[in-house]
Amino acid sequence: MALNVLYFAWVRERIGEPREKVETQAATVMELIEELRAREERYAMAFSDLSALRVAVDQELTEFDAALDGAREVAFFPPMTGG
Amino acid sequence: MRIVVQAEPFDFGAEANAFASGHTDMGAIVTFTGVVRDLPGDPLDRMVIEHYPGMTEKALESIAAEARERWSLGDVLVIHRHGEMRPGDMIMMVATAAPHRVDAFAAAEFLMDYLKSRAPFWKQEFTADGAEWVASKDEDEDALKRW
């Protein structure tokens, strides 16, 4: 499956791009993270501390064990600081 | 209910007036405005707010819808800017209209607590020392527990 993977704030800076298409068989967000970590050092750096990260699947905030079946867009970002 | 996400400044007075006008059954209007604050000892040159187009609007709409379920509200307005701002600039506003003030105040606080840590905005501060992403605070997360 082809996923649009988006990065925001310092996650975007560490990865070096705001979005990319990822071809993956990952069943969950965590499996996707493991695949990305194994790719290159910059991903391993960005995903080194998951407690500092949040994830949204198809623009809904969710958990790292969330399933990816049918998902089109996954976004990784730090805790939000609006208001 | 109106949700606006924009880069441009907004006219707080005009927005508040328009929001408060035209109801005859709303006895209370509460507004809150967030302003870019200068940093004591480390002057802020500018703040840049990044957001997640699409998800931002959805998140704000769902937070506002939740407020309308919890309190007796006539109307809700949320305006939130993104992009570059200077100290003293208005970042965002919420307004609530309710028959009674208790609901209007509580709903405005609820909206603020939730949009601070559940709407996908990220603030970055630029000072003479460089750029720094604003870290979320534990108390912002704790603030959600009271609802």
pLDDT at site B74:
96
Of B89, B83, B77, B102, give the one whose Cα is nearest residue B27. B102
Is B72 at the interface with chain A, CB within 8 A? no
- What tokens were used for B87? 């100290």
**pLDDT tens track for B18-55:** 999 988 999 999 999 999 999 888 899 999 999 999 99
Residues 11-30 of A with CB under 8 A from B: none
pLDDT at site B33:
97
Residues 51-70 of A with CB under 8 A from B: 56, 59-61
Of B10, B98, B12, B92, give the one whose Cα is nearest residue B56. B92
Give me the CATH topology for the region B2-146. Aldehyde Oxidoreductase; domain 3 (3.90.1170)
pLDDT at site A55:
98
Would you list the DSSP string of B41-76? TS-EEEEEEEE-TTHHHHHHHHHHHHHHHHS--SEE
Q: Which domain holds residue A20?
A: 2-77
Task: Say which residues have a Cβ less than 8 Å from residue A13's Cβ, sequence separation at least 6.
Answer: none
Task: Say which residues have a Cβ less than 8 Å from residue B78's Cβ, sequence separation at least 6.
Answer: B2, B3, B4, B60, B63, B64, B92, B93, B94, B111, B115
Q: What percent of chain B has pLDDT over 70?
A: 100
User: What is the CA B74 to chain-centroid distance, rounded?
Assistant: 18
- Across the range B125-138, mean pLDDT stands at 94
Question: What is chain B's mean pLDDT, rounded?
Answer: 96
Is B83 at the interface with chain A, CB within 8 A? no
User: What is the CA A45 to chain-centroid distance, rounded?
Assistant: 13
Of B46, B42, B66, give the one whose Cα is nearest residue B119. B66
For chain B, the domains span: 2-146
Q: How far apart are CA B96 and CA B136, in angstroms?
A: 26
- Across the range B80-92, mean pLDDT stands at 98
pLDDT at site B14:
98
Strands (E) across B1-147 are located at 2-6, 28-35, 44-51, 75-81, 83-85, 90-98, 121-127, 130-133
pLDDT at site B23:
86
The residue whose two tokens read 């975007």 is A12
* Helix locations, chain A, DSSP H: 9-15, 29-39, 41-46
**pLDDT tens track for A19-60:** 999 999 999 999 999 999 999 999 999 999 999 999 999 999
Beta bridge partners of B76: B96
Is B104 at the interface with chain A, CB within 8 A? no
- pLDDT at B7 > cutoff 90: yes
Is residue A82, in this structure, part of any structural domain at all? no
**Interface contact flag, A82 B117, Cβ < 8 Å:** yes
Is residue A23, in this structure, part of any structural domain at all? yes
Q: Give me the CATH number covering residue A13.
A: 3.10.20.30
Q: What single DSSP character describes residue A28?
A: B
Question: What SS3 class is residue B16?
Answer: helix
Q: What percent of chain B has pLDDT over 90?
A: 90
Amino acid at site B122: W
pLDDT at site B40:
85
Q: Give the other-Cβ count within 10 Å of B23's Cβ.
A: 14
